[in-house]
Amino acid sequence: MSSFDSTLATLGIGRTTPSNAATASANTANLGRTEMDQSDFLTLMTAQLKNQDPFEPVDNSQMVAQMAQFSSLAGISEMNSTLKAISERLGGTTTADALSWVGKTVLVEGDTAYPRTDGTMGGTIVLGADASDVTVTIENGDGAILKTVQLGARSAGAIDFEWDGTTDSGDAPGAGPFRIRVGAMNAEGETVEATPLVWAPVTAVAFDAGGEPVLTLPGIGQISPSAVLKAG
């Protein structure tokens, strides 16, 4: 017995053979349906009232209970649809939201960094374990060492570093970009995992095939906004 027949039986209605072509056509249109909508419910309720035994009519309380149950289910379905639409809207990224990234400076994982307008530069190092000696080496585009910043012993986690914008010899380093190299050792002389995080400007925003925004950072490439750790 199908779910439709079960519903008819619950309401006390026997299913009859179609008496004309119009009824047969309507039944054909309903083939494959497994759920009832509001129109189906009203049709069944009307049929129930028309076909009830006048000497044993459907109990009023039962009728009200059926109507209340359907109304509750319809309300929940409508509420779920509304909440889903709100969720999709909040989780989505509009074009205006994506374009607002352009011109911002963001902190991301990478080893290519640009100085600030005053020539100084900052970044962050993420240590995988405690280190007794942490060194940040700043190189130019040709790989020549410009500055070595000694950070000493540091605990595991994120640590910030600053560069005053001058080379070891006191000369101006140029406009950049610069390459960041990190060295970290523990007390036993073993290498400690160290990940550099650098600040870079967002120069453009594009959308991938799925409609998700992609940020373009010079020297680093294209990244997702979810890869941004901090924005300045």
User: pLDDT of 144-169, one tens digit each?
Assistant: 899 999 999 999 999 999 998 888 88
In this structure, of 3-12, 19-28, 60-69, 97-106, the range with the lowest mean pLDDT score is 19-28
pLDDT band at 18 (very low <50, low <70, confident <90, very high): very low
With 70 as the cut, is the pLDDT of residue 90 above it? no
More confident residue, 209 or 216: 216
Tokens standing for 14? 């026997």
Host H or E run for residue 44: helix 38-51
For the chain, residues classed under CATH 2.60.40.4070 are 98-231
Does domain 98-231 correspond to CATH entry 3.40.1080.10? no
Residues with Cβ within 8 Å of residue 93, at least 6 apart in sequence: 212, 213, 225
Burial classification of residue 80, based on how many CB atoms lie within 10 Å of its CB (0-12 exposed, 13-18 middle, 19 or more buried): exposed
Q: Yes or no: say if 102 and 203 are a contact pair by the CB < 8 Å rule.
A: yes
With 80 as the cut, is the pLDDT of residue 51 above it? no
Q: Which of 87, 13, 17, 19 is nearest to 45 (CA)?
A: 13
